[in-house]
Amino acid sequence: MCPEVSMGSTHMVEHDTSVVVKHIAYVLRRFPALSETFITNEINGLRAHGTAITIFSLLPARDLVLSNASKILLPHVIYVPFLFSVRLIVFHLYFLIFGFHRYVTALFRVVGKHRGSFKELLKSLVLFPKTVCIACLCRRLEIEHVHVHFSGLQTTCAEVIADLTGIPFSVAVHTILDIDYPKILGYAEMARFVVASSVHNLELLKKKIPSQYHEKLKLIRSGIVLDNFKLNRGHRGINRKTIIAIGRLVEKKGFTFLIEACNMMKDNGIRFTCQIIGDGPMRETLDQLIERFGLRTRVLLRGALPHERIPAEIQGADIVVAPCICTKDGKEDGLPNSVIEAMAMGLPVVSTEVAGIPEVIRNGETGIVVRTQNSEELADILTRLLEDSYLRYRLGLNAQSLVRQEFDIYKTSLQLLRCFRSRQFCS
């Protein structure tokens, strides 16, 4: 049993006595990851309900900026040893001696699943020794369920653990890449249940997997700690003309189009400042674009910030924008956490029709949806919102109401916890 964890909300401290507490393992590609605060929220939510959690990180930590919520979980993280370490060899010998059939079955599954792609096969074979190590540790720690996010190598890892130990697993999907053939058929068949974080992804899953697996599908939102995102409405009469965007500096976030929109607004004589919070591989590209457009005094790349500083940044803004796109290789955001956090604080959000975003940003009601990769339309909408304080207030109020109904981490983590124990999903 893990120690009681407070999530900053009075009802988060009480354990749900109707749900049997389990020891659950999370297998993650890398922990902590600043861009995956929704996973950190979920784990802390489960722990607040009295559930013991062990996190297996396949790769060492990389982010230098850590949130307090992530720091709390560090004592519960096991970083899997490097390949060919003595520890890994011992674990492999254990299964070869005491579970030879299971070992061979798991190895053949990895080879069979990825035989069509040499790159994926190589990655999976490199991962296999680490997975055997995790399987041994799961037995030793008496893990009863394994949960993974995204359908990459983590899912292959969960499948191998199930082959080696019989421990059931579940998968949470977030993007369209998680729902591609042929991997979707493998985890849909083997997993105890599959979580979709948006109706968009849920419907895609239903279209792509056989109907006999539909009962395994569950819609569970990625919740947030609502008490961390309370708005002081005292500043609502102040129009700071401030726009902020939050996210990793990667192509799918669409920040290139935001900077282009800012250039159009500058040329139209609109007074504003735009702050982009986050870091990533596109920082230099975006910086050069800002320089080319002469936006140094208008657009600022703030870099990555600890997650607990984000509410104050949102508080100081008039508009939050998430100009998400779907890239040529199919990468897209499912439903950005920054969108939900801004809506929870009653800020108007402008975003695009990508994936599950229109489910929460109902155009003209809880926010504004613009066409993807359309800088001119984005500039027009941002201008309109900057000039209409009542519209900002109305959109923000409606957005706050929706998020507080559907994205309370207390409720969403309890939904997930009940799935872990539900007889419906037990084999």
3-state secondary structure of 409: helix
Domains of the chain with bracketed CATH: 10-223+408-425 (3.40.50.2000), 226-406 (3.40.50.2000)
Q: How confident is the model at residue 290 (pLDDT cuts 50, 70, 90)?
A: very high
Asked if residue 195 has pLDDT above 60, the reply is yes
306 preceded by cis ω (within 30°)?
Answer: no
- pTM for this entry: 0.86
Neighbouring C-beta atoms of residue 186, cutoff 10 Å: 17
Q: Give the pLDDT confidence score for residue 158 in this predicted structure.
A: 93
Q: How confident is the model at residue 422 (pLDDT cuts 50, 70, 90)?
A: confident
Asked if residue 237 has pLDDT above 80, the reply is no
Angle of CA points 127, 131, 135, to nearest 5°: 175
Half-sphere exposure (Cβ direction) of 25: Cα atoms closer than 13 Å = 29
- Arithmetic mean of pLDDT, 373-400: 96
List pLDDT tens digits, range 299-333: 999 999 988 899 999 999 999 999 999 988 888 88
- Range in 3-17, 246-260, 319-333 the model is least confident about: 3-17
Q: How confident is the model at residue 216 (pLDDT cuts 50, 70, 90)?
A: very high
- Arithmetic mean of pLDDT, 236-243: 72
Chain centroid to Cα 128, Å, comes to 25
User: Phi and psi (nearest 5°) for 91?
Assistant: -65, -40
Asked if residue 296 has pLDDT above 90, the reply is yes
Q: At what angle do helices 153-165 and 100-114 cross, to 10 degrees?
A: 150
Of the two residues 225 and 12, the one the predictor is more confident about is 225
Q: Give the pLDDT confidence score for residue 234 in this predicted structure.
A: 46
For the chain, the average pLDDT equals: 87
List pLDDT tens digits, range 13-24: 444 444 454 799
- Arithmetic mean of pLDDT, 125-145: 91
Residues 6+ apart with CB under 8 A from 81: 87, 88, 130, 133
Q: Give the pLDDT confidence score for residue 12 in this predicted structure.
A: 40
Q: Give the pLDDT confidence score for residue 93 in this predicted structure.
A: 80
- Arithmetic mean of pLDDT, 202-216: 90
Q: Give the pLDDT confidence score for residue 427 in this predicted structure.
A: 42
Is the separation of the CB atoms in 315 and 239 below 8 Å? no
- Arithmetic mean of pLDDT, 246-252: 95
The stretches of 293-408 forming alpha helices (DSSP H) are: 310-315, 337-344, 357-360, 375-387, 389-406
Q: Give the pLDDT confidence score for residue 178 in this predicted structure.
A: 62
Residues 6+ apart with CB under 8 A from 348: 318, 319, 320, 367, 368, 385, 391, 392, 395, 396, 399
Asked if residue 383 has pLDDT above 50, the reply is yes
Maximum average pLDDT range among 30-34, 185-189, 367-371: 367-371
Is the separation of the CB atoms in 127 and 156 below 8 Å? yes
Of the two residues 61 and 235, the one the predictor is more confident about is 61
Q: Give the pLDDT confidence score for residue 23 in this predicted structure.
A: 94
- Range in 9-18, 91-100, 104-113, 168-177 the model is least confident about: 9-18
Is the separation of the CB atoms in 169 and 190 below 8 Å? yes
Q: Which residue has the tokens 């998680």?
A: 178
Among residues 325, 404, 312, the alpha carbon closest in space to that of 372 is found at: 325
- Arithmetic mean of pLDDT, 171-189: 75
Q: Give the pLDDT confidence score for residue 1 in this predicted structure.
A: 35
CA 180 to each of CA 29, 151, 171, 258: distance values in angstroms, whole numbers, following the listed order = 19, 9, 14, 29
Q: Which long-range contacts (CB under 8 A, 24 or more apart) does 387-396 make?
A: 389/236, 389/237, 389/239, 391/348, 392/318, 392/319, 392/347, 392/348, 393/236, 395/348, 395/349, 395/364, 395/365, 395/366, 395/367, 395/368, 396/231, 396/343, 396/345, 396/346, 396/347, 396/348
Is the separation of the CB atoms in 57 and 28 below 8 Å? yes
Residues 6+ apart with CB under 8 A from 386: 239, 241, 243, 270, 272, 318, 319
CA 318 to each of CA 47, 243, 335, 394: distance values in angstroms, whole numbers, following the listed order = 35, 6, 21, 13
Instruction: Identify the DSSP state of 346.
Output: T
Beta bridge partners of 27: 56, 148
